[in-house]
Amino acid sequence: MIALLQTLSLILDIAQWIIIASVIFSWLYAFNVINSSNQFVGQIGSMLYSMTEPLYRPIRRFLPNLNGIDLSPLVVLVLIFFLQRLIWTSFIPMFR
C-alpha cells in the first residue's frame, strides 16, 4: 500500500511541474517572449493546455472573474500540496 501512495505522490509531483510549466508558458506567450507563429511552440502550448484545462475548468466555475487574472492554477497547486501532505502525514504512517 505504501508503494501505491508513493506512486500517487509522484503523479501529484509531476502534475505540479506541468502546471508550473503551463503558467510560465502562458506568461511567455502573453508577453510575446516566444514566437507564437512557430509550430513547435504551438504544439507545446496545445499539449500544456490539454493537460491542465481539465483541472482548471471546475475551479473556474467557483472563482470570481478578476479581469484577466486566472487564479485557478494557484488553487490547483494548493490542492495538490494539501493532498501530498495528507498522504505523507496521515496515510503513509498508518501502513508502517
Instruction: Report the alpha-carbon distance of residue 96 to residue 92 in Å, rounded.
Output: 7
pLDDT of residue 14: 97
Whether the pLDDT of residue 96 is over 80: the answer is: no
Phi-psi domain of 70 (left: phi exceeds 0; alpha: psi -120 through 50; beta: other): beta
Instruction: Report the alpha-carbon distance of residue 3 to residue 75 in Å, rounded.
Output: 27
The helix or strand, by DSSP H or E, that contains position 28, with its residue range, turns out to be: helix 2-30
Q: What is the dihedral of CA 56, 71, 85, 17, to 10 degrees?
A: 70
Instruction: Report the alpha-carbon distance of residue 7 to residue 3 in Å, rounded.
Output: 6
pLDDT-based confidence at 33, cuts 50/70/90? very high
pLDDT tens readout for residues 43-83: 999 999 999 999 999 999 999 888 888 999 999 999 999 99
Q: Which three cell numbers stand for residue 38?
A: 512557430
The backbone torsions φ and ψ at residue 66, rounded to the nearest 5 degrees and listed phi first, read -115, 40
